[in-house]
Structure 1
Amino acid sequence: MTDLPTGFLHEPDPDNPGWMRWGFRDPTRFNSALGKMIVRVEDDGRVRMRAFPDRSHSNLADNVHGGALLGFIDVALFATSRSKGIIEAGTAVTLDLSTQFIGAAGIGRSLDFVSEVLRTTRRLVFIRGLVEQGDTVVASYSGTIRKPSGT
């Protein structure tokens, strides 16, 4: 999309029709450590961000490291807000993030971060969601982001 800064990636994914690629074009930014992510708005209005964790995201038990899950969840908050047209890419920030780890997530299998916007105000966006791997819920989360100035 041309309305986003040139360093931000939010465009149709040719390998996954109906999905948008999500991230930064600059491989030296943090999101690049998380790997490929794609996002779409579901028919029910929730936003699904899909990530593809690999060995670099693993802990010693060969599951997805909790810190990696937290990184993905944080990105999902912004993917949700942008996909719903609430914010543009830029200087929005995470104010809080609460996560409940319910089970282990395996590496080498995609993870879905399914989020819904609970409320927006002039400056804040309140979001909650679930992390799913196949039919298994591995975490729940809720978070608040502050919109950039001027939105």
Structure 2
Amino acid sequence: MSPQPAPTDAPMPPPGFELLQAGGPFMQVNGPLYARRDGAAVRFGLRVEQRHCNPMGILHGGMMASFCDMLLPMAVLGQPGPVKGHFLPTISLQIDYLAPSPLGCWLEGTGELLRATRSLVFAQGLVSADGTPCARVSGVFKIGPPLPDNFTG
């Protein structure tokens, strides 16, 4: 299944963001997600569409959780050491919802590696909606098997 293209009437992502071709079928249907690499750092983005919203017209908490569950592993995936090039399944994900993310806003997140052991990764991140902090996230991930050679995340 190929990623869903951005709707033609949706505003384009900010300069430097490219369509992310990772996350499997679930994120391909629920995205599209975007990424921008600044050296070793990765910024993650999503334009909040109607299908991402709850009945109040703000990003559904479950979609924010999915966004964050992609953000943290992708942000640390290229780090040197035991993390580099490995699948990072989620063990624990904690999210503090700080502010609403309204329909049409640009959601953008950053993450950082706090610590990696031989088998676990600890990371944290911050997500903003049009520049306003809207979620703080931390997670623990298992260092899984190596990613396939054709992985493009």
| Structure 1 position 25, deviation (Å) | 8.4
SS at match of 1:80: helix
Tell me whether 1:114 sits opposite 2:106 in the alignment.
Answer: no
Q: Residue in 1 aligned with 2:68? A: 73
Gap runs ≥5 in structure 2: 4-12, 148-153
| Structure 1 position 19, deviation (Å) | 4.2
Tell me whether 1:100 sits opposite 2:96 in the alignment.
Answer: yes
| More displaced 10-residue stretch of structure 1: 138-147 or 73-82 | 73-82
CA distance in 2, matches of 1:132, 1:16: 14
C-alpha contact 2:72 2:112 (8 A) present in aligned 1: no
C-alpha contact 1:8 1:89 (8 A) present in aligned 2: no
C-alpha contact 2:59 2:101 (8 A) present in aligned 1: yes
SS at match of 1:115: strand
C-alpha contact 2:93 2:139 (8 A) present in aligned 1: yes
Using structure 1 for the length normalisation, give the TM-score.
0.75
Q: Residue in 2 aligned with 1:33? A: 29
In the superposition, relative to structure 1, how do residues 84 and 139 fare at CA in structure 2: closer, same or farther (>3 Å)? same
Backbone CA RMSD of aligned residues: 2.8
User: Percent identity among equivalent residues?
Assistant: 25
| Structure 1 position 82, deviation (Å) | 2.1
C-alpha contact 1:113 1:131 (8 A) present in aligned 2: yes
Tell me whether 1:148 sits opposite 2:148 in the alignment.
Answer: no
| Structure 1 position 121, deviation (Å) | 1.1
Q: Residue in 2 aligned with 1:88? A: 85
Q: Residue in 1 aligned with 2:43? A: 48
* Count of aligned positions: 136
More strand by share: 1
1:21 counterpart letter in structure 2: L
Q: Residue in 2 aligned with 1:58? A: 53
CA distance in 2, matches of 1:140, 1:67: 14
Q: Residue in 1 aligned with 2:133? A: 137
Gap runs ≥5 in structure 1: 1-6, 10-14
Using structure 2 for the length normalisation, give the TM-score.
0.74
CA distance in 2, matches of 1:100, 1:126: 17
